[in-house]
Amino acid sequence: MTDASPTLLAGPGDTVAIASDHAGVDLKEALKGDLGALGFKVLDLGTNGPASVDYPDYGKALAEAVTGGKAKAGVAVCGTGIGISIAANRVPGARAALVHDVTTAGLAREHNDANIIAMGARVLAPETACAMLKTFFATPFGGGRHAGRVAKL
């Protein structure tokens, strides 16, 4: 296995996609501001209101935007983060990590080279979600022993 150089998912000016269902829409709006503050362009794939929608549709669209090259990375939000992360991970090439704190947000990048961060709006304080987002995008993939494992996914 080759050692990958430490790499960040995205840098200033790169596009990051974000999507949520109705349960995650308020947190999605807050995180859009945080992504902009980090220098990213934001591709908002909805939903954009409180009307009930189905999280699989949004997880799929998000993962396809990332794996298809429309965005360098993705942010997925639903009530728990569970459903939308399951949906995103059905798309080949998507590595959506459902994380709950800054430790798991960092390890999702360092160990798993996650290209989508998933989180639950009903189980997180908004400031925790913001801190997780910052850590996720500030943490490079560790490469080394992790590279071969990620290649097997």
Task: Indicate the residue among 4 and 82 with the shorter CB distance to ligand RB5.
Answer: 82
Burial category of 140 from C-beta neighbours within 10 Å (exposed 0-12, middle 13-18, buried 19 and up): middle
For residue 88, give the amino acid letter: A
**CB under 6 A: which stretch of 11-19, 58-66, 79-87, 101-109 binds ligand RB5?**
79-87
Binding flag, residue 55, ligand RB5 (CB under 6 A): yes
Q: Which of 9, 17, 21, 71 binds ligand RB5 (CB under 6 A)?
A: 21
Q: CA 51 from chain center: how many Å? A: 23
Set 100, 111, 130, 146: catalytic member: 111
Q: Which of 9, 40, 74, 79 binds ligand RB5 (CB under 6 A)?
A: 79
Task: Indicate the residue among 10 and 99 with the shorter CB distance to ligand RB5.
Answer: 99
Annotated active-site residue 111? The verdict is yes
CA distance between the termini of the chain: 15
**CB under 6 A: which stretch of 29-37, 65-73, 77-85, 136-144 binds ligand RB5?**
77-85
Task: Indicate the residue among 55 and 136 with the shorter CB distance to ligand RB5.
Answer: 55
Task: Indicate the residue among 65 and 119 with the shorter CB distance to ligand RB5.
Answer: 119
Binding flag, residue 82, ligand RB5 (CB under 6 A): yes
Could you list the residues that contact ligand RB5 (CB under 6 A)? 21, 23, 55, 78-80, 82-83
Q: Which residues are identified as catalytic?
A: 78, 111
